[in-house]
Chain A
Amino acid sequence: MLKELFPIRHVVGFISSLLLTAAALSVLVFDLPFGVDMGILIVTAVLQASLQLFLFMHIGEEKTTKTTLYLNIAYALFVGLVTIFGTLYIFVWGWYS
């Protein structure tokens, strides 16, 4: 019963998400260069998001819609990243000035 209510995959996923949070905190604890800090944040955040998407949200479990879902999320991420980095490129990183 306990094993069925707390499946090992979910428990491991939860512990991983806590460990990833702790790993992200290292940017405050250690005095690392800015680029390394940003690298740590990007890697831990992407891993956390993937954990939710694949393990908890079961994005790939329904065969008939699997491809559509992947394409939909990939396209949404593409639009989001272009919005964020395109805008930063123009307004912050100095292309316009």
Chain B
Amino acid sequence: MKLDASRPLEYATEENRNRILGFWIFLGAEIALFSTLFTVYFVLVNRFASGPSGSELFEIGPVLAETFVLLTSSFTIGLAIHAMRHQYKKAAMVFIGVTLLLGLVFLGIEIMEFFTYVHEGATLSTSAFLSSLFVLLGTHGAHVTFGLLWGSAILIQLSRHGFTPETANKSFIFSLYWHFLDVVWIFIFSFVYLKGLM
């Protein structure tokens, strides 16, 4: 394994560079996945049958809280990678921990939202609009859930091994994933919630 000292640790070997490239290609596939889910939602958004429409169902308060929490977590994972590049192991781990906690808060608010919707009689099978809404939000929420497990596993590895070419590479790739989830949420916030409430 040849280490290239002119590059940050996560790029230092050819294998590391290939892993990062591969993950970006995966993110390209994720863009295609979420595009299809947005497509279904946009086509079915007015087919609310006898159930509620978006403007009747959505409330801006919790959605703004979700947005703020996720934007902040995207900021802290960015800080974690920055700290990693300056060899601040403890600070990087704290930032990753804060990111995961914020992710947990986001997930909690989203689950409470889902409970509220179902309580108001808006379930997955109520209308085509709600099916497409729950599938779009649920796929994003499932990604966040997976991210929480993934990030926790990386934290354990960091506490055991510190920053090696392997763990630095894993941490960086996780940060790409987390920023991507934030991007997807921005589009949900804008074109599902804000557009629905307009």
Query: Chain A: residues with CB nearer than 8 A to chain B?
Result: 4-7, 10, 13-14, 17-18, 21, 24-25, 27-28, 34, 37-38, 41-42, 44-45, 48-49, 52-53, 55-57, 59, 62, 64-65, 68-69, 72-73, 75-77, 79-81, 83-84, 87-88, 91-92
Contact = CB atoms under 8 A, between A and B. Distances in A.
Given A45-B186, A52-B179, A79 B74 contact: no
B88 A48 contact: no
**Contact size range, B:** 35 or more
Interface stretch (B28-36, B107-115, B141-149, B153-161): B28-36
A28 to B, nearest CB: 6
B88 A5 contact: yes
17 contacts: A4-B86, A6-B79, A10-B75, A21-B64, A21-B67, A42-B190, A56-B74, A57-B176, A57-B180, A62-B7, A62-B20, A65-B21, A73-B24, A76-B28, A76-B31, A84-B39, A91-B43
A55 B183 CA distance: 13
B36 A83 contact: yes
Interface string B159-197: 000000000000000011001101100110111001101
Interface in B46-86: 60, 64, 67-68, 71-72, 74-75, 77-79, 82-83, 86
Question: Is the contact region of chain B dominated by helix, strand, or loop, or is it mixed?
Answer: helix
Q: Which one of B11, B27, B75, B180 has the greatest number of beta carbons of chain A within 10 Å?
A: B75
Contacts of A81: 35
Given A4-B86, A10-B79, A53-B183, A25 B36 contact: no
